[in-house]
A and B are shown apart, each in its own frame.
Chain A
Amino acid sequence: MTQIKTVAGQDLRDMFSAATTWLEKSSSEIDALNVFPVPDGDTGTNMMLTMRSTMEEAFRAPDNSAAGVADAMAKGALLGARGNSGVILSQVWRGLAEGLAGKESITTADFASALEQAATTAYKGVSNPVEGTMLTVMRAVASAARDQVDSGNEDIISLLEVVVEAARDSVANTPLLLKVLREAGVVDAGGQGIYTLFEGALRYLRGEVELMRLRKPQIIVSEIPHTTPLPQTGVIDEVPYGYCTEFMLKGEKIDTDVIIKRLEHKGESLIVVGDESAVRIHIHTLDPGNILHWATKLGTMHQVSVRNMDEQHQDFLEMQKERVPTADTAVITVVSGDGLSDIFASLGATAVIPGGQTMNPSTKDILQAVESAPSDKIIILPNNKNIILAAEQVQSLTQKQVAVVPSTTIPQGVVALLAFDYEADFKTNTRIMENAISTVKSIEITRSVRSTKVNGLKIKRKQPIGLLDGKLVVAGISDIDVLNKLLDKMEMDKAEIVTIYHGEDVETAEAEQISAGITEKYPRIQVEVVRGGQPHYSYIISVE
């Protein structure tokens, strides 16, 4: 059996490069190990993207010593860190690099101390470490390596075999440590990612490159059927808008079903409402001429309107550019959905980074926005709990003064941005905005991505579910049902304003209906409906 006593810098790079490819193969399955059945669990994707950036930098390393490669990996991980799991992973590589400082190559003893340093640094990077997560797995890895060295093992491969075994046991044990995992019947996704990385590294050192091409990493305990990967949100600037085409069709015996059938694949946001004598049609299409031509055969056309939405959006962006900067502090925010993005810009956000659920921007993305903002003082609104850590990393990477106001929902981001005081200094503004967060209640309505049990609720796959301030509290038969159940749980007599941001798949008419329902139930409350255009969440609602 082959033995390896030392690992050189090049080997270190190659083994984790192979491990990254190995991780990539199961990233969507790791994504599906999400505790919350909401589409915010892209732990696998986040770790994979973080690893890509880690290894890209490793290949650019100026020297090929183990220390040089590890340093480069740490740097790449820091810049590419996405989501909480990515940030913790970047701490692992930072710790490893610290542990390997000055080493030309690595012995088992070097490796064990570096892994210990990696685990310690990972724990330190989290303000409130939780057991049953990737932190626990990382500590198991470090402690197994230490035991091997203490018992005189000088072979890296056999050391790694024990380490991987320990990681596997630790991952399998995570549901025992963390109740939410137990309830959901899954192992910790981040822990699974760590296990997969070390397993991949081991397989590479064993020379199983060919085998790795054919096989896939194994998910440790998974009684839950895997979900299909969620669609990724596009970068906002690249979304083609086409033409917003609207008209009224008048005639006799118009069949709306026929119209829907004919038009549903001709564009997006199709709305067809009316009766057999008059129908209103709304569609976003790239070819309005074709649709209008066809419609003339069904009856007479009225109130025809075709607007170029790219132009509209461009005009909007131009208008925003012309706005005079009014304060020396810039606010940068992370938002997904064209409507929400425009709303944040209209409220004075200097930059809007596309991202959110299922698409966490990397530390580098946020850093770029910070560096290009026309101000030396920056406040970041992450609007998502998985982006807060990545945003906080930016503070150490820039000369600029950066504060993160930890908004975890869109409504929190909106109230924080609104509370911005044009005359207050940087610190005061950060405090004012932080305080504002608690003045709003956030409702999010989405579909469960799989069957599960959370907080005593039995939830079926694709069932409408409702979150209140990030906590899953109700499941129902429809969006409206979920909303009503949520509202019943809230102190609505104290509320003044309800703002409904409807998602990309929701028709304005339906949102208006929900608005009317709230007005009827709570006549004192002012209700506002705005198109958010966000993916995955049919409704995001703020109650103030």
Chain B
Amino acid sequence: MTVKIVTDTLSDITGDLAKDLDITVVPLYVRFGDEIFRDRVEINSEEFYRRLVYEDILPSTTQPTPNDFLVVYEELAKETDEILVIVVSSKLSGTYQSATQAKDMLKAKCRINIVDSLSVAMGMGLIVIAAVNAVKNGANLDEATQFTRKALSRSRLIAYFDTLKYLAKGGRIGKAQGLLGSMLSVKPILTVKDGEMSPLTRVRSLNSGFDYLYNVVANAGKIESLAVEHATTPGDADKLVERFSSIFPKDNIYRSIISPVIGTYAGPNALAISYLEAE
């Protein structure tokens, strides 16, 4: 029986892509005050960013319950006895906890390995896609797990934020704290390092942001996969894809929308790129 792969919505793998990859995506919860929504099930990205910008309430996200994972495990256990779960960085969300607790609760005979991706958004999404390919090529659970763990260090995520406003409002942001308090309007560029948001540098305009993101990829050496994401500005993401097309086949560039967890900090107009270095 082939290994089944499970991830969470913070991988930014949703909809058709999730279907094509034949993976299960467990939603986190997005909370605006008393209102709770299942991410991308009960609230879509457009609605999320609209409320983020126009409402005073700052949204927060909550990990899936152990039961949410248990239900998924039970369902999958009917058709397989090996599940690989790849979740968002344990330093950004408690999702890893829930996935692990659910594993202990599962009565069905099924082996489950859980990998902390130490990343988020397509930085994690590309790891999931690589794992799916490994399984397609015949890897069993242990091989796929080992492959995934090794792939973590090949993944890189760089995000351009249009404003510091939401970063300042948000909660724990690790070393990115150092970017706050700027008296000039600057646009921070961040990455995920050791599972945490970490500052890279700052630019003052969208075009300099484009240049920076482009240069990161251009200087990255050989890359296996590339993803471009936007929050509210698909046109900007199109421009980025166009620029990358000279160094990477355009049709192979994944496109997605920045997930609410990063979106809470990034705010509207943010962009993110992720890539996986070639082995």
Contacts and interface: CB of A to CB of B under 8 A. Distances in A.
B178 A324 contact: yes
A324 B175 contact: yes
B202 interface: yes
B184 A347 contact: yes
Contact of B181 (A319, A326, A423, A497): A319
B217 to A, nearest CB: 16
B198 interface: yes
A413 B51 CA distance: 38
A346 interface: yes
Given A323-B181, A324-B178, A343-B183, A421 B201 contact: yes
A342 B178 contact: no
A371 interface: no
B201 A414 contact: no
Given A418-B203, A497-B204, A526-B205, A326 B178 contact: yes
Contact of A528 (B175, B185, B201): B185
Contact of A530 (B183, B204, B206, B208): B183
A323 B182 contact: no
A311 interface: no
Contact of A346 (B182, B193, B203, B204): B182
B218 interface: no
B177 interface: yes
Contacts of A204: none
Nearest to A418: B202
A418 B204 contact: yes
Nearest to A419: B201
Contacts of B203: 418
A193 to B, nearest CB: 39
Given A320-B181, A418-B186, A423-B200, A544 B175 contact: no
Nearest to A340: B183
Nearest to B180: A323
B177 A323 contact: yes
A57 B160 CA distance: 53
Contacts of B175: 324, 326, 422
Interface class of chain B by DSSP: mixed
Interface in A493-520: 496-497, 499
A498 to B, nearest CB: 11
B181 A422 contact: no
Contacts of A544: 204-205, 208
A323 B178 contact: yes
Interface string A123-147: 0000000000000000000000000
A252 to B, nearest CB: 40
A530 B207 contact: no
Nearest to A526: B205
A426 interface: no
Interface in A464-522: 496-497, 499
Interface string B161-205: 000000000000001011011111110000101000011111111
Contact of A422 (B183, B200, B207): B200
A46 to B, nearest CB: 31
Given A324-B175, A423-B191, A423-B193, A342 B183 contact: yes
Interface in A242-288: none
Contacts of B191: 423
A497 B199 contact: no
Contacts of B180: 323
Contacts of B183: 342-343, 346-347, 530
Contacts of A320: 181
Contacts of A499: 184
Contacts of B186: 347, 418
A217 interface: no
B90 to A, nearest CB: 21
A78 B186 CA distance: 39
A381 to B, nearest CB: 15
A539 interface: no
Nearest to B185: A528
B81 to A, nearest CB: 42
A346 B201 contact: no
B205 A326 contact: no
Nearest to A542: B204
B182 A347 contact: yes
Interface in A411-429: 414-415, 418-423
Contact of A348 (B178, B193, B200): B178
A470 B2 CA distance: 69
Contacts of B178: 323-326, 348, 422
B200 A421 contact: yes
A422 B199 contact: yes
B184 A414 contact: yes
Interface string B115-151: 0000000000000000000000000000000000000
Interface string A317-347: 0011001111000000000000000110011
A542 B206 CA distance: 17
A454 B99 CA distance: 74
Nearest to B177: A324
Contacts of B177: 323-324, 326
A417 to B, nearest CB: 9
A423 B198 CA distance: 9
A319 B177 CA distance: 12
Interface string B81-121: 00000000000000000000000000000000000000000
Contacts of A324: 175, 177-178
5 contacts: A324-B178, A346-B182, A423-B200, A439-B208, A526-B205
Given A419-B201, A422-B199, 12 more contacts: A319-B181, A325-B178, A343-B184, A346-B181, A414-B184, A415-B204, A418-B201, A419-B202, A421-B200, A421-B201, A496-B208, A530-B184
